[in-house]
Amino acid sequence: MVESTEIIAVLKAALSVEVYADFVPEGAGLPAVALTHVANTEGRVLSGKKAGKTAVWRVTISAPSDTEAKAIASELEVIDNTPQQGFSSIRVEFIQFAPKGINEQYRRIFYDIFARK
């Protein structure tokens, strides 16, 4: 099983901003990144046993401006399709550049990370 602490360590090594589990705390400095577990994708071997070696994580980039959000996204995309700290591969997929709401002070970009041991 892939643990959140393992993915957070990969992100902290790759990104120039603070990385949090689940959400960016209120009052925390921006830009920042939050990581949420989405699913386990249990690979199966020929015998039918589950391997449990892949997990999907949602990365939310929060930044005060488009420029800062895109800069962090560029840092994240560098680890796409690479082995990282105990993982045979990390796949990074862009999901959405969320529009800024009327009362929102920051921009958000969403990615999914597929981590395989």
DSSP, res 99: P
Could you tell me if 72 and 17 are in contact, meaning their C-beta atoms sit under 8 angstroms apart?
Answer: yes
Interval 55-104: pLDDT, tens: 899 999 999 999 999 999 999 999 999 998 888 889 999 999 887 778 87
4-116 has which CATH code? Answer: 3.30.2000.30
Among residues of the chain, what percentage have pLDDT more than 70? 89
- The whole-model pTM stands at 0.86
In sequence order, the 6+-apart residues with CB closer than 8 A to the CB of 9 are: 85
